[in-house]
Structure 1
Amino acid sequence: MFILKPFFSIVIPTFNQGYFLKRCLQSVFLQSFKNFEVIVVDNHSNDITKKIIKKFRKRIIYKKIMNKGIIAKSRNLGIQAAKGEWIAFLDSDDTWKKDKLNSIYNEIGQNSFDVICNAEWLIKNNKKKLNFFGPYENDFYKKLIISGNRLSTSASTVKKDFIKRNRILFDESKKFVTCEDYCFFMDIARKKGKFYFLKKALGFHKFHNKSASSNLVKHFKAEEEVLKYHIFKLQNFSKNKRGLWHESMQYRKIRNEINDFIKNSKNLKNLNTLLELFISSPGKFIYYLRFMLFKKINEFFYFLFQFR
């Protein structure tokens, strides 16, 4: 009997997200593109997850793991079990639109890429915000180091052959938790992987208090640890490692101050800090403003074409 090999392997790590997992799996099985397998990696949940798994048991590959709070271990187990040509990651509290896989499949057929990252909707406090990723630029590895992560795991689909050939997995270091995806995509960029950013919203990312990235202090600390690892141990494009570290930290300071200024209703107390940063690093300041403008322009054209 001939068994069709799946084109996509969908890797879903989960822990005590039973309610969200149900919606997540429903969105997967409503996909218009049907040639895929689903791998759910459960960190021994003790909520209603077991009941949800039972409902979908015949349609999924179910793995259990004790990951000790390190989601990278769950994703890696899913990668190792994957039989598909491409691996699509999906967190159990996120969902996809029904044309997600079909849209990605069409892009794969027309182009030669190793990572495809689509836009997605961010849902926070019952409000929706369109979130674009990217853009891709030359020297992308260097750009990721200096300006930060430009991708989302649940919005990304990766060519399995590329990561297998280059022995790339999610780093399981505890100090990288919440930023293991940033490290993963930098590893791909370091190996000259080809990235493509699809300006089409194909999923929904739910931001809530249980989200790993909702603890910003922990998240920024993990981001610094990932940067130290890449700047001082892996990258070889700059011998001035201290200078590169300072450059990346200065960019993050500008990013955080601008975002804080906008978030706090343009608090004038932050204005002096912004002016000081602009005077000390005008190039990086303008670069980040251009990055913000890129997102706003994409939002404008996305909504414009929706009503054509």
Structure 2
Amino acid sequence: MSNIISVIIPVFNGQTTIKETIHSILEQTFTDFELIIINGDSSDSTLEIVSHIQDPRIKIFSYPRANVAVNRNRGFHHSCGEFITFLDADDLWTRDKLESQYTAFQENPQAGVVYSWSHRIDENGKFLRKCSSVYWMGDVYEKLLLDDFIGSGSNVMIRRDIFTLVGGFDESLTNAQDTDMWLRLSAITDFICVPKAQILYRMVPNSMSSNILGLEKSNLQVIHRAFTHQKAESYQNLKPQAIANLYKYLCYKALDASPGKQNTLVTTRFILIAVITDPSLLIKPIIWKATLKLLVMTLLPPIWVNVLFTKFPRFSNTSTFLGYEKTV
């Protein structure tokens, strides 16, 4: 007898978090699932840790190392569930995530995707901040053109036939494969929201999302592709806003680097492009705050900057960039 839901975890050298991540699945209130772990040639103790967790719902497969899109697709090919959901090896779920999203499908049979809200946590599991908490339902294609409000690849649950229809994740993308997937899904199916935070998205230094130039390249590629889709024909006026939103996000990410590890030239370019694509930023305090923060990070020794930012946390917080992302 097959399980209703297939949970897929791609992992590479995840020894510090994988056990906690797996337990957040095994402790779900909804129990009719299979857990497929795709080990991408880990060289640490990941495989040993996973192998010692005894549960008949766990299936482990090892492959040569590849990007997350490839490994998610590998997991899908091993799956048999009517619904598919993914969890990154350093993220967590609340205990009711599967049950809430499955119930949403039962109540909305026309929908192909269910998403929840997210919180960001640090590498030690400490709460950092809330992520997007929008409540957009039905045809969300126009919304996603401007903003990836889903937040992470650990969020959505997808009907198997819909995932098959879009052809899985784009394996040529090393970043932004999540945004690309949500856009392709929203072009053909309705989205449903579970209005509570059920995904704990861990911010880890040197993670894929910290590759700022990779984020820029892949996101620009996804934006240009999305606006060539037939469904975007009547939304062409939104493309400049989409690019402006991207650079506001990149400004935030670049300025969120640890003092001494920031790329001053790249960050300066992001700030300039953000202003060029959205001149209204020139009259917003955030642009001057961001410029001053970058100057401080560039000119002062990192130890001084850390002391300054600890004493004046509001000065160092440039997440306001995200609040200026324009939506419809």
8 Å CA contact retained: 1:117, 1:196 = yes
Pick the structure with more helix per residue: 1
Deviation at 1:35, TM superposition (A): 0.4
Seen in structure 2, the aligned counterparts of structure 1 residues 138 and 39 have a Cα distance that, compared at 3 Å, is closer
Q: Following the alignment from structure 1 to structure 2, what is the Cα–Cα distance between the partners of residues 177 and 275? A: 25
8 Å CA contact retained: 2:241, 2:326 = no
Q: Following the alignment from structure 1 to structure 2, what is the Cα–Cα distance between the partners of residues 196 and 291? A: 22
Partner residue of 1:277?
Answer: 279
8 Å CA contact retained: 2:7, 2:87 = yes
Greater mean deviation of Cα atoms: 133-142 or 251-260: 251-260
Partner residue of 2:85?
Answer: 88
8 Å CA contact retained: 1:168, 1:188 = no
Seen in structure 2, the aligned counterparts of structure 1 residues 54 and 225 have a Cα distance that, compared at 3 Å, is same
Deviation digits for residues 45-66 of structure 1, max 9, x if unmatched? Answer: 0101121122126531111222
Deviation digits for residues 286-305 of structure 1, max 9, x if unmatched? Answer: xx8587899xxxxxxxxxxx
Deviation digits for residues 142-201 of structure 1, max 9, x if unmatched? Answer: 3322x131212111111112222x24300000xx2121111111111122x111122211
Q: How does 1:166-205 map to 2 (within 5 A)?
A: 166-173=165-172, 176-191=173-188, 193-205=189-201
Seen in structure 2, the aligned counterparts of structure 1 residues 51 and 136 have a Cα distance that, compared at 3 Å, is same
Partner SS, residue 183 of structure 1:
helix
Deviation at 1:139, TM superposition (A): 5.7
Partner of residue 34 from structure 2, selected from 37, 40, 46: 37
| TM-score of the superposed pair, with normalisation by structure 2 | 0.71
Aligned positions, number? 272
Deviation at 1:253, TM superposition (A): 4.1
Partner residue of 2:76?
Answer: 79
Q: Which runs of 5+ in 2 are unaligned?
A: 258-267, 283-321
Seen in structure 2, the aligned counterparts of structure 1 residues 279 and 172 have a Cα distance that, compared at 3 Å, is closer
Q: Following the alignment from structure 1 to structure 2, what is the Cα–Cα distance between the partners of residues 127 and 279? A: 29
8 Å CA contact retained: 2:9, 2:72 = yes
Partner residue of 2:21?
Answer: 24
Letter in 2 for 1:64: S
Letter in 2 for 1:155: N
Seen in structure 2, the aligned counterparts of structure 1 residues 275 and 88 have a Cα distance that, compared at 3 Å, is closer
Letter in 2 for 1:129: R
Greater mean deviation of Cα atoms: 98-107 or 45-54: 98-107
Q: Following the alignment from structure 2 to structure 1, what is the Cα–Cα distance between the partners of residues 30 and 18? A: 20
Q: Following the alignment from structure 1 to structure 2, what is the Cα–Cα distance between the partners of residues 258 and 214? A: 11
Partner residue of 1:238?
Answer: 233
| TM-score of the superposed pair, with normalisation by structure 1 | 0.76
Partner residue of 1:301?
Answer: none
Deviation at 1:30, TM superposition (A): 1.0
Q: Following the alignment from structure 1 to structure 2, what is the Cα–Cα distance between the partners of residues 202 and 289? A: 22
Instruction: Please report the RMSD computed on the Cα atoms of aligned residues, expressed in angstroms.
Output: 3.5
Seen in structure 2, the aligned counterparts of structure 1 residues 290 and 246 have a Cα distance that, compared at 3 Å, is closer
